[in-house]
Amino acid sequence: MAVQLGDTFLFGPGSHLWIVISDPAKNNGEFVIVNLTTDVFRAGKDCEMNVSEHQWIRQKCYVSFGDARKVTAKEAARIQQLISQNQIQQHFPMRTAVIKKIVASGINSKALATELKALLKT
Which domain CATH number covers 113?
2.30.30
Enclosing domain of residue 57 = 8-120
Q: Can you give the pTM of this predicted structure? A: 0.94
Q: Which residues contact 74 (CB under 8 A, 6 or more apart)?
A: none
Distance separating alpha carbons of residues 1 and 117, to the nearest angstrom: 26
Burial 40-66 (b: 16+ CB within 10 A, else e): eeebbebbebeeebbebbeeebbbbbb
Q: Is position 2 within any domain? A: no
- At 76-122, the pLDDT tens digits run 999 999 999 999 999 999 999 999 999 999 999 999 999 999 999 86
Q: How far apart are the C-alpha atoms of 86 and 121, rounded to whole Å? A: 32
- Is residue 114 a part of any domain in this protein? yes
State residue 72's pLDDT score.
95
Structural domains in the chain (count): 1
Residue range 29-84, pLDDT digits in tens? 999 999 999 999 999 999 999 999 999 999 999 999 999 999 999 999 999 999 99
Indicate whether 3 belongs to any domain: no
Of 79, 51, 93, 45, whose CA–CA distance to 65 is shortest?
45
